[in-house]
Structure 1
Amino acid sequence: MMEFKPHNIEFAKEFATMKNVPEILNNGYDKTPNPYTEKDALKFINQEIGKHPEERFLIYWNDEIAGEIGITLKKDVFRLNAEIGYFISKTYWGKGLATQAVKKMTAYTFKHFDVIRLVAGVFDFNKSSMKVLEKNGYYLESIRKNAVIKNGKIIDDYIWVKLKE
């Protein structure tokens, strides 16, 4: 069974170990430290603790930490937008966990925040994440050609969107 739990510093080491995997780090922004250490996890978790409503959650599968999901609220003229991001530990790939988590986080976001638009940027090689978003009613809004440089390679960025109904 999949469930969300708030971030907790007790899980910093496990979180860092789960995130410090090339397949995870290669799908995220370069602002995320690489390698990702327990110190990095503690800093990140401490930024999330105390936010109400919570913007990010640990994903659990059968009472074991299995990933993380959250939103980044936008500002200024984009203030009714949020960016959704997530990762699932390699141990739990292929179980439909990301699909369940995105569904739950999407509903949670539209219920608890003044947001009418959720956006997910997906690098061109991450077809699995695109399938997760599509299964959850996100649509491909655009492909930003040559928009990203990741690991020294220029790639396309696929922009997936879900509008509040």
Structure 2
Amino acid sequence: MQLDLESCGVRSFREADAAELARHANNRNVWLQLRDRFPHPYSIDDARGFIMFAGGAEPETAFAVTVDGQPVGSIGVVLGEDVERCSAEVGYWLGEAYWGRGIATRVLVGFTRYAFAAYELERLFAVPLAANTASCRVLEKAGYRLEGRMCRSAVKDGVVQDQLLYAILRGDGASARA
């Protein structure tokens, strides 16, 4: 898979991406915004393992976010199962050097369009930590709507935190951007 977007892109991971992926992922500020299954410190072996996992999934659900062809982050979905098979959770991260440039918004808009078509979904949702205001803003700019607050639903770095639930539906007014 490959999406060419303005000044960035989304593509399948390659084995050669491991060093750059590890360089951007091995950052406490990145880790603080993500689920604990994202390790810190993040080693090249972690990157190799993730790339192997991403490349072996069927369907492929995790992809590299690129700038100038080099991986600077990742975006993907966790597909729902059983009665929730029409829904998927979207997640993404960028290396800190790429924050604040509009890359995450462009990537999320393009990937949302791709995900609705590729996985035959009706709903995409994201569950950022409430304190991650930058990610919340990315979701809003990409057309996702705030559906609710899950109070004291997560623990990150020993701190109990709220999470927010954002979603976008196939064919709703907000998905026109996606």
Shorter-chain TM-score bucket reads over 0.9
Q: Match for 1:14 among 8, 12, 20? A: 20
The aligned length equals: 165
Q: With the length of structure 1 as denominator, give the TM-score of the two structures.
A: 0.94
- Aligned with residue 116 of structure 1, among 96, 112, 122: 122
Query: CA–CA distance in 1 between the matches of 2:63 and 2:147?
Result: 26
Shift of 1:62: 2.6
Deviation of residue 84 (structure 1)? 0.5
Structure 1: which 5+ residue stretches go unaligned?
A: none
Question: Does the Cα contact within 8 Å between 1:53 and 1:112 map onto a contact in 2?
Answer: no
| Percent identity (aligned) | 32
Deviations 1:59-88 (A, max 9, x none): 112333222111111112211111101111
In structure 1, the partner of 2:159 is 153
C-alpha distance in 2 between matches for 1:45 and 1:64:
14
Structure 2 counterpart SS, 1:144: strand
Structure 2 residue 38 is the aligned partner of structure 1 residue 70: no
1:92-131 mapped onto 2 (5 Å cutoff): 92-131=98-137
Name the amino acid aligned to 1:114. E
Confirm whether residue 80 of structure 1 aligns to residue 79 of structure 2.
no
Residue 130 (structure 1) shift:
0.6
Stretches of 4+ moved more than 4 A in 1?
Answer: 50-53
2:127 alignment partner, SS class: strand
Gaps of 5+ in 2: 1-6, 172-178
Superposed CA RMSD in Å reads: 1.3
- Contact 1:2 1:60 (8 Å CA) reproduced: yes
